[in-house]
Amino acid sequence: MDIQVGIIMGSKSDLPIMAEAAQALEELGVGYELTVVSAHRTPERMVEYATSARERGIKVIIAGAGGAAHLPGMVASMTSLPVIGVPIKSSNSIDGWDSVLSILQMPGGIPVATVALNGAKNAGILAASIIGAFDAQVGKNLDQFKEGLKKKVIESAEELEAKGWKRFLSE
């Protein structure tokens, strides 16, 4: 499977969150690479990663960061590839809001698609959706995934209606 998505994070402590993006991509049949790239501690590595991504076959970059969360925006400033930012509630974070706002409030011309705090799973699904717009198999995988979500909701509704809410909650 060709690597089409790059998943990067500012620190290895972000891996428990960012692994959810990798899992989503695996389930949807999209090849990815995953590594640590710090905007503040390894700026040269960040520049190299961002500027070489397209020639290495990357089509979408998912960048997760906590605290000041500069990684997604800085990477987006150096590539024309779509960048999806994952704000991470980290130990040096102000309840995650600093990360959310750092990624969300980008200046005009440097867009970063931003998912919810710790929303790496959705970042993986969004990356697959971008790939799936041009790759029929990935698009089909996404359609099946969405049908599975629909089926789970319908099953839950039927179970709730059959048991009643009190019994449903007690189980």
Q: Which domains does the chain have, with CATH numbers?
A: 3-134 (3.40.50.1970)
| 51-57 contacts, C-beta under 8 A, 24 or more apart | 51/78, 51/79, 53/6, 53/79, 53/81, 54/79, 54/80, 54/81, 56/3, 57/2, 57/3, 57/4
Residue 169: per-residue pLDDT: 87
Each residue of 35-58: pLDDT tens digit? Answer: 999 999 999 999 999 999 999 999
Q: Residue positions in the annotated binding site for substrate?
A: 11, 14, 41
pTM for this entry: 0.94
Cα separation, 126 vs 144, in Å, equals: 15
Q: Residue positions in the annotated binding site?
A: 11, 14, 41
Cα separation, 97 vs 112, in Å, equals: 16
Give the residue among 117, 84, 102 at the shortest CA–CA distance from 17: 117
Which regions in the chain score pLDDT beneath 70? none
Structure tokens given for 150: 């629909």
